[in-house]
Amino acid sequence: MGEIVFTRDDPSLTSMLAQKIVKNNRADIRGVFVFREAYENRSIDVYQFDFNKPAMLVMAQAFEMRDNDVLFVTTDPITRWNDTLTKILSPVITTIKAQAVVEAVN
C-alpha cells in the first residue's frame, strides 16, 4: 500500500485508515493489524482491530500510531475468492482465445 506520512496533530489509527485504507474497497474491516516494535525486549507487539464491533472505533481513535509502526489490512474474503478464480481461469481463457485465433486463421 505504501508509506503514510502523518502529522503529529492526529496520529491516531482512525486517521491513518481514513488517509489510505478507506479508499481501498478490497479491505476487510475485520482484519486491521498494527505491528509495533517493543524496544524493551526487542520483540514485536501485534494489535488487532475488528471494526465490525462499534467499540473498536473508539479504541482506534485513542490508539496513537508511532514512528515505524506497520499498519496491515487484510483483503475481504470475496476479493480473495475472486483473485483465486482469476488466477485459475486466466490461463484457461487465454488458451481458449488462442485456439479460436488459430482456428480462424486456418
In this prediction the pTM is: 0.60
Beta sheet of 27-38, edge-to-edge order: 43-49, 27-38, 70-75
**Cα gap 21→99, rounded to integer Å:** 41
Reading the chain (106 residues) residue by residue, the pLDDT tens digits are 455 555 556 677 877 777 666 556 677 778 888 999 887 778 899 998 888 888 888 888 889 888 888 888 887 767 666 767 777 878 877 888 888 888 888 7
Place of cell 464491533: 53
The single residue listed with the C-alpha cell 475468492 is 81
Q: Could you tell me the three cell numbers for 41?
A: 525486549
Between CA 31 and CA 51 the distance in angstroms is 8
